[in-house]
Amino acid sequence: MERKYEIRCPVHGFIELNEWEWDIINQPAFQRLRRIRQLGLTDYVYPGATHTRFEHSLGVMHVATRMYDSIVARSAAVLKSELGYNDDGLRRDRMIVRLAALLHDVGHAPLSHAAEEIMPAKPDGTRYKHEDYTAAIIRWELRDVIENHQVNANYNISADDIAQLIEGRYGERANFSRRLIFWRQILASQLDADRMDYLLRDSYHAGVRYGVYDIDRLINCLCAFTVKVEEDEQKIVIGVSEDGWHAAESLILARYYMFTQVYYHKTRRIYDYHIAEAMKSALPRRGLPPPQKMQEYLRYDDWWLLGKINSGKAGPHGQRIRVRDHYRLVESTSETPTIDEISRIKQAAERIRREVTTEVYLDSSESPKSWYNPGGEEILIQRLYEASPVPLHRYSHPVEGMKGIQLYRLYVTLEAREDAKRIVKEVKDG
């Protein structure tokens, strides 16, 4: 009889694991996630936010499984008619989804997202992301425990099956591809298990209520249905039944509030900059190794970086982290700035750099950060008495009015703050 394990989670209660999952979790590449904080140095603002990618990964697997089971329970006929499923196929793909959800963050760098800007460039000039490292770890470091575990005799799942689902790449078998394209929505979409877990988990540990939404209602209202893509083409999507649209709305609003109040907090953002600069000073080549040098990459975790900071081997930005002497905010734009606002803050940054100090940081995004995009990917609502679904924004006035945020913030050292404020005022006054 297969042994079962339980891990107590402060967000979801008990999370159940089988022997196979237990052995994967106990691999060094996965245990490393105990030493990768979920939110970098957010505890410098919200002291309780010291939780890790380890517990988040378990939570995502748990939520993804609940989502999968709810969709199968409500939409089994659609899955069988549109994707050719039988019971064995549903059982196997449930396991693939669980493992992909469990392993989706295994490639994160020290202090999570703050380190992504120092990941190396690919041959095509784009930058590697943590998903590239995740796929490499699954294929190289975890292949044996995935493919040769005794429990896998019941499933015949390969490491590539899991890595491809995370990457969004699929095999040549048409029906197989359609199935994984469908289930990938659980891992990467407006309704994915990742954000369903991190909103609740980050709220809990930060001690705020911004990310709380009705996860039970939302999962219970998930369903599968077909939508027309082209004139002669349809695709099967995950959406929400009409009686659950308020729960879907609450998820979008929770994400907006968490980003504006926690993830984009002015002090939390500047520490991301200090982390990246400190890592450059601490690393041998001022950047992380590529996925091909996986053994070297896996040596780097929060313990390594914090040790470098504490021993004075992470440069001046490491010292600022150690004594909590971050750059200070001197100016910011609105959440949706005009061209003139952006121009003025960039002009002020250049003047401060020339006239006051070179220690200037302009935090910005070249493209707006969207919480929900009515012009692109949407949450679809299946109406009770109509065949065709409609987008969530047709139901929700707050969602309909949402715009992307493109906030610019200008930081300098504490010593230069007053002179910097003077220049900002001069630029504003023309």
User: What contacts 105, CB < 8 A, 6 or more positions away?
Assistant: 33, 53, 56, 57, 60, 130, 134
More confident residue, 11 or 227: 11
Instruction: Please give the share of the chain, as a percent, with pLDDT higher than 90.
Output: 80
Which pLDDT does position 329 carry in this prediction? 97
Lowest mean pLDDT among 111-115, 199-203, 301-305, 374-378: 374-378
Q: Which residue has the tokens 């469908």?
A: 182
Q: 17 near 4, Cβ under 8 Å?
A: yes
What's the rounded Cα separation, in Å, for the pair 237 and 243? 18
- Strand-pair category, 4-9 with 328-332: unpaired
Lowest mean pLDDT among 169-173, 196-200, 407-411: 169-173
Q: 152-192 pLDDT, tens per residue? A: 999 999 999 999 999 987 666 656 688 888 999 999 999 99
What's the rounded Cα separation, in Å, for the pair 219 and 69? 9
What's the rounded Cα separation, in Å, for the pair 332 and 222? 40
Q: 339-378 pLDDT, tens per residue? A: 999 999 999 999 999 999 999 999 987 666 666 655 557 8
More confident residue, 264 or 402: 264
| Whether this model's pTM surpasses 0.85 | yes
Supply the angle between the helices 193-206 and 53-83 in degrees, to the nearest 10.
150
What's the rounded Cα separation, in Å, for the pair 87 and 258? 39
What's the rounded Cα separation, in Å, for the pair 103 and 57? 7
Instruction: Please give the share of the chain, as a percent, with pLDDT higher than 70.
Output: 95
Q: Which residue has the tokens 């970098």?
A: 40
Which pLDDT does position 318 carry in this prediction? 97
End-to-end CA distance of the chain: 77
Q: What is the pLDDT averaged over residues 88-113?
A: 96
- Which residues is 227 bridged to in the sheet? 235
Compute the C-alpha angle 192/197/200, nearest 5°.
130
- Within its chain, how far is the Cα of 226 from the centroid? 27
Q: Is 123 exposed, middle or buried (0-12, 13-18, 19+ CB in 10 A)?
A: exposed
**pLDDT at residue 226 greater than cutoff 60:** yes
Q: Domains in the chain and their CATH numbers?
A: 4-325 (1.10.3210.10)
What's the rounded Cα separation, in Å, for the pair 17 and 320? 42
More confident residue, 201 or 230: 201
Burial of 99-110, coded b for 16+ CB within 10 Å and e otherwise, reads: bbbbbbbbbbbb
